[in-house]
Amino acid sequence: MPDCLECVDEVHTISSLTGFEALLRGLDVTCYGLPFYAGWGLTADIDAQLSPKADYLERRKRDTTLTLEQLLYCALIRYPLYRLPNGYGLAQVEQVIDYLYPPKSAPLLKDIHNTASQAQISNPINSSINHATSVLSTLPDNFQHQATTRFMQQRHQWQQRLRKLSR
């Protein structure tokens, strides 16, 4: 699906996680159904005036409006319970990320940065990594979750760029 989303300008969906992935990639999303990401002002909602959809969407709009970062935080960090395999038990999203991407990959990023700086090459991926790391360390605790979410989005973009470069 990621390859398909790179080739389109917008996504129309009834109730699909593809629409959520499209939102994360900055694409326009039109919802005909009522997925969890509809009604927050991030999507174009079709038939939003018909009941019972209208009642539900009105409740969402009345309670609060969400940014994409807030929706991502609620959907992937705050709401779900994660469970690691092999008896590790329940985990927070940061622990799951560490499990899926062990810290041994961190020296690789440092090696890339050192090689680029030694060669005096300006690399946007390396500068983004340095910027994200420095910004995250200076934020107060209550904003670190939001910054972590943004960092996860950036890391996905870096992985996509590296994957394209390696082809």
141: pLDDT strictly greater than 80: no
What digits encode the pLDDT tens for the residues 72-95? 888 888 888 888 888 778 888 888
Sign of the four-CA dihedral 154, 155, 158, 160: negative
What digits encode the pLDDT tens for the residues 41-68? 899 988 777 777 787 777 776 667 788 9
Q: What is the DSSP letter of 74?
A: I
Q: Which two tokens stand for residue 126?
A: 């390396």
Taking the whole predicted model, whether its pTM rises above 0.75 is answered as no
Contact indicator for 154, 133 with CB cutoff of 8 Å: no
Give the confidence band of 156 by pLDDT, cuts at 50, 70, 90: low
Q: 124-138 vs 106-118: helix axis angle to the nearest 10?
A: 120
The domain limits of the chain are 2-65, 82-166
Burial (CB count within 10 angstroms: exposed 0-12, middle 13-18, buried 19+), residue 121: exposed
